[in-house]
Amino acid sequence: MATPAPGLEPGEQLLARAPVSFRGATAASVRSTFAMSSARKRMAAYDAWRAQADTMGFTTAGPEMVLGVTDARLVVWRTTFWLNRPESITGKMPLARILDVATARHGAVTSMALALDTGEIVEVEAMRGRKLRALAVTLRDALAAHRR
């Protein structure tokens, strides 16, 4: 990790992080490119996704965010405007709440689904999915270690 991760607890170790968007961000962007008020339509899609994510206890940082996996939790950072670096933690979820994680590639987009202890699933996506797939592998390993 080139830059430090702000907002972590003392002694908390960052294992991986990846920039992500809300599930459906790419499709919303493509659809709204040819429509009037494209930014408004994309934000409406985000607001619908966020409302569901919030009810599951997955607090977001906006349409674009950075997810991080630590030895104890999954964190969500708001990003800086210019360089999209993690700025402040806006959401966190203990690893105990996450039952499983899966990724899927859909052309240029990779999505990641988190199965929660409530039976619900929250999804995020990334255009360049290599970091997101690596985060999912690290999260899967952290979940296994946490359950031992």
pLDDT over 90 for what percent of the chain? Answer: 57
pLDDT over 70 for what percent of the chain? Answer: 88
Kindly state whether residue 7 falls inside one of the protein's structural domains: no
Domain housing 93? 14-147
Residue 79 CA to residue 119 CA, distance in Å, equals 29
As for how many domains the chain has, the answer is 1
Kindly state whether residue 111 falls inside one of the protein's structural domains: yes
Residues 6+ apart with CB under 8 A from 45: 22, 24, 25, 28
Kindly state whether residue 141 falls inside one of the protein's structural domains: yes
Kindly state whether residue 9 falls inside one of the protein's structural domains: no
Kindly state whether residue 108 falls inside one of the protein's structural domains: yes
Q: Model confidence over 32-71: pLDDT tens digits?
A: 555 556 777 778 888 999 999 999 999 888 888 999 999 9
Which CATH number belongs to the domain containing residue 85 in this structure? 2.30.29.30
Q: Model confidence over 63-77: pLDDT tens digits?
A: 889 999 999 999 999
Q: What is the pLDDT of residue 132?
A: 96
Indicate the length of the chain as a whole number.
Answer: 148
Instruction: Please give the order of strands across the beta sheet that includes 86-94.
Output: 86-94, 73-79, 64-70, 14-22, 121-126, 109-116, 98-106
Mean pLDDT computed over every residue of the chain: 87
Kindly state whether residue 2 falls inside one of the protein's structural domains: no
Kindly state whether residue 3 falls inside one of the protein's structural domains: no
Kindly state whether residue 4 falls inside one of the protein's structural domains: no
